[in-house]
Structure 1
Amino acid sequence: MNLDSIWKKRQHMHLKKFSRYSKYIFNDHFVLVLLFLMGALAYQYSEFVKTITPDFLLGKLLIVILFSGSIFIGKLATFLEPADQVFLLAKEKEWGSYFRKAKKYSLILPSVLLFFLAAAAMPMLFAGRTIGAIDFLPIYATLILLKSIHLDLQEWGLKIGERKVQRKNNLYLFGAAIFSFSIAIFFNPWVAPVLVTLYTMFLRKKVQVAFEARYPLYQWERMIASEEQRKARINRIINLFTDVPQVQSKAKRRKYLDALLRLAGGDSNPYRYLFARAFIRGTDYSGLFFRLAGIGAVLLLFTPSAEFSLGLSLLFLYLTGFQLLPLYFHFNENVMYRLYPARQAEKFAGFKRLLGSLLGAEGLLFAAIIFANNGWQSGLAALALNAGFIWFFSRFYMVRRTQKRDTALH
């Protein structure tokens, strides 16, 4: 079996796995919420663009930084397995074609994301009288060329192995991106891809002279570890929507949060204490809650519209509640948990109160931000709407989502 057939087989297995989990990721609820969020953000963005004047220098500088940072989105997908360093080490000189295919595949998703990013930034540049519609082509080409260089640097990093050298190369690339996009936005967009092409030729010559003689072989342990980390990140994202067997959660003691357990009222309801302990110690649930709360708070801080803020608050409450529902089934495979002499109604009541407390704290945070941005009337409206949503979610939606699975288990 040659390396080309190995690549095709592993790529097929990866795509098959993604297609299997995609129906859980892009479910009806998530797609509906995503469309609502994109539509609301697009409306707010269009209203903001109407206020832009040609002397809006800050917006142009932000776009330069955003474009320059976006080229670092996406890692090199090699699909390497731990056994490769033993069974395929003898074919090391043939790995060049394998990594060329890996770089082409790894460029697909970033190309799509960079296309939408560039398309989203164009109205702001149009409003600023900086560029025209035809100038989208050189800007997008510059993004793709710089992303290709980033993938090349990642491949070279598999040979170099020295983090200091890799960080230095990435810093040089970021500087080249800042310079190229500054030329594109403030001078002439068609000059930028030419500059990046010249930089690519210089970089390849430099690598050929400086690195190929010093680092002729791949660092196999580093390659395997890098690919395992990339797969783990993807699995953690999928695990937000459905169970992934490859994901192994790590528990953390977090003694400083023990005071919160006393607020959970574990003496009256053992399940409530158990779910609270799992939330605090589990990196999946607590991290997810704080990330969603933080993102929602930041978006609300920069949202001037009261109506949009109310909708955004309800949206993030729904996302938080929906993503925390798997905590209800967290202990179902534990035999001692299944044998515990307590009624099923206590389990639901304990989880319902914990989830209500978490969503209540998040709802209060969102209402406080809306109050600070839009006044007391909007703040009170947010408080009432959030409270009503939490009651409906825990009283009806959560019952329907958990009852069917609970019946199957018992």
Structure 2
Amino acid sequence: MMDVDALFRERMQRFSAELIRYGQYMANGGVLMVAVFLCGLLAYYYPSLVQAIPSWVPVPYLLALVYAFFVTKTLHRTFLLEADLIFLTPAETKMDRYFQKTQVYNFVVQSIGLFLILLLLLPVYQGKVGMTGAQGWLYWGVPLILKGWNVYSSWIILRLPDKKRQTRYTLARFILTYYVLAWMLSQGSFLAYQHVPYGAVVWMVLLVWFMIRIQSIVKRHRYQWYSLLEMENRLRLRFYQIANQFRDVPSLQLRVKPRRWLLWTAQLIPYGKANAARTLYLKLFLRSDDLAGIYLRLVVISSLLILILPGALGKLAVIAVFLLMSASQLKGMGGQARHRSQTFLLPINEEQRKAAAVWVRRVLLLVQGAVNLLIGLAVWKW
């Protein structure tokens, strides 16, 4: 007899121990300090940013769009392993309780993230729309209830073998979620005429149709084990990619992307044996799935903050903090390259590897600093 409760506890304890261990490494790497500084910077400028929003901006509907995205986006951690395809699939009829526990875990974890988003954008809603009485309870309660419904319905939709049908059902979930949030945030004025919510009738019809459809999915389709394992592997890989920036993760399977539209930058390095290591490390960075993506996101986010934040002091603080964050992320470049077989195919010794990694990091930080400074100067002159 298989004890699914014991199986879930064992998987949960293993994941929690790994999360705590790598979380300590990330906290010791300076992430906590940077996060506290960014929160303080945001708290200082947030009131002026809220006041700068024009009166003609439909704040309730834009907030509903943002909230609907985070409410509808549901990733399901199942803690499945490769061997489960052999040992657990014969006991699929007994796995319902196990997957119910994973749904509760996903709801709790994702509700925490949703709560932080609601808390972050609360001043915008209070400053531009206002919130009194029962509206406060609705503001917090409705998105969390919708999150629970989305977790439940999206889990059923994952039984579908056709990805296109999954996408259509996800779009339907988004539309239903957006209507409720827009109606709640606009205090009942969304798709209403003379205080009569005619849109609610359409919403109820669509909701009944949607629930009937997904209940038929349960009867027709079983669990898609390969898809569930693929989703779990993607989530595990994402966690390992973040942790690998602070500590080498032995189980990390590195992925590469061609990115031919960026490889021309490696050709700017003069051809020669002395520059072989620099060319190799730059190409490894450009093709990496994690380092290049994190670096580009940091450049984009820092540029947006420079455009938004008023005052030269705030812009300079953003530039300094994000350069520090990029430097912390790029520290793992040398460790990743040592695990690649390409580094051993060229006549490059250990000193050249270290020097090349330092050179590439400096160039990337100079590029980021130059981009941020140019944007800051352009905004200041404008």
Shared fold (TM-score greater than 0.5)? yes
Q: Where does residue 396 of structure 1 map in the other structure? A: none
Please say if 1:120 is aligned against 2:120.
yes
1:220 aligns with 2:220: no
> Could you give the per-residue CA deviations for residues 304-323 of structure 1, whole angstroms, max 9, x where no partner exists?
33221111011111111221
Query: Does 2:287 align with 1:264?
Result: no
Deviations 1:250-286 (A, max 9, x none): 3455555554334334634443333223223333333
Deviations 1:276-304 (A, max 9, x none): 23223333333332222122222222333
Aligned amino acid, residue 149 of structure 1: W
CA distance in 1, matches of 2:169, 2:123: 32
Q: Tell me the secondary structure at the aligned position of residue 283 of structure 1.
A: coil
Task: Give the corresponding residue for 2:381.
Answer: 375
Partner of residue 49, structure 1: 50
Following TM superposition, by how much is the alpha carbon of 1:38 offset from its aligned partner in structure 2, in angstroms? 1.3
Where do residues 335-350 of structure 1 align in structure 2 (5 Å cutoff)? Answer: 347-350=353-356
Aligned position for 1:245 = 250
1:7-38 residue CA offsets vs partner (Å, 9 max, x unmatched): 11111111111011111122252111111111
For residues 116-156 of structure 1, what are the alpha-carbon distances to aligned partners after superposition, in whole Å with 9 as ceiling and x for unaligned? Answer: 22122222222224322753322222111111122112321
Q: Confirm or deny: 8 A CA contact 1:149 1:200 kept in the other structure.
A: no
Q: CA deviation at 1:93?
A: 2.1
State the 1:68 CA deviation: 0.8
User: Is the alpha carbon distance of 1:343 and 1:224 closer, same or farther for their aligned partners in structure 2, counting shifts above 3 Å?
Assistant: closer
Partner of 1:379: none
**For residues 339 and 127 of structure 1, do their structure 2 counterparts lie closer, same or farther at Cα, with a shift above 3 Å needed?**
closer
Distance 1:23 1:368, change over 3 A: same
SS of corresponding position for 2:249: coil
Aligned to 2:362: 356
Q: What residue in structure 1 maps to residue 287 of structure 2?
A: 281
2:192 match: none
| Cα offsets for 1:344-375 (capped at 9, x unmatched) | 66555433332222211111111111011112
Is residue 2:236 matched to residue 1:235?
no
Structure 1 CA distance for aligned equivalents of residues 100 and 231 of structure 2: 17
Determine helix, strand or coil for the equivalent of 2:131.
coil
Structure 1's 199 and 83: CA in aligned 2 closer, same or farther, altered over 3 A?
farther
Written as runs of structure 1 = structure 2, the 5 A alignment for 1:9-408 is 9-27=10-28, 29-51=30-52, 55-132=55-132, 135-188=135-188, 202=208, 205-207=211-213, 210-215=216-221, 217-252=222-257, 254=259, 257-265=262-270, 267=272, 268-332=274-338, 347-375=353-381
Residue segments in structure 1 that go unaligned for 5+ positions in a row: 377-410
Q: 1:313 to 1:208 in 2, by over 3 A?
A: closer
Cα displacement string for residues 50-70 of structure 1 (whole angstroms, at most 9, x for unaligned residues)? 4568x4543222211111111
Instruction: Rate the CA distance shift 1:35–1:250 in 2: closer, same or farther, 3 A.
Output: same
CA distance in 1, matches of 2:289, 2:209: 41
Identity among equivalent positions (%) equals: 23
Count of aligned pairs between the two proteins: 370
Relative contact order, higher structure (CA 8 A, sep 6+): 2
Q: What is the CA deviation profile of residues 199-223 of structure 1, one whole-angstrom value per residue up to 9, with x for unaligned ones?
A: 99847851465323322x2222222
Aligned pair in 2 of structure 1 residues 48, 245: CA closer, same or farther (>3 Å)?
A: same
Q: Distance in 1 between matches of 2:149 and 2:89?
A: 26
For the residue of structure 2 that corresponds to 1:76, the secondary structure is: coil
Output the aligned Cα RMSD.
3.2
Question: Structure 1 residues 6-15 or 132-141, which shifts more?
Answer: 132-141
Distance across 1 between alignment mates of 2:212 and 2:290: 43
- Alpha carbons of structure 1 residues 84 and 187: separation in structure 2 relative to 1, 3 Å: same
Residue type of the alignment partner of 1:12? Q
Alpha-carbon distance in 2 for matches of 1:121, 1:333: 42
* AA at the equivalent of 1:235: Y
C-alpha contact 2:26 2:246 (8 A) present in aligned 1: yes
Match for 1:71: what amino acid?
Answer: V
Tell me which amino acid in the other structure corresponds to 2:91. K
Whether contact under 8 Å (1:321, 1:355) holds in the other structure is yes
Amino acid at match of 2:295: F
Whether the 8 Å contact between 1:303 and 1:309 is mirrored in structure 2 is: yes
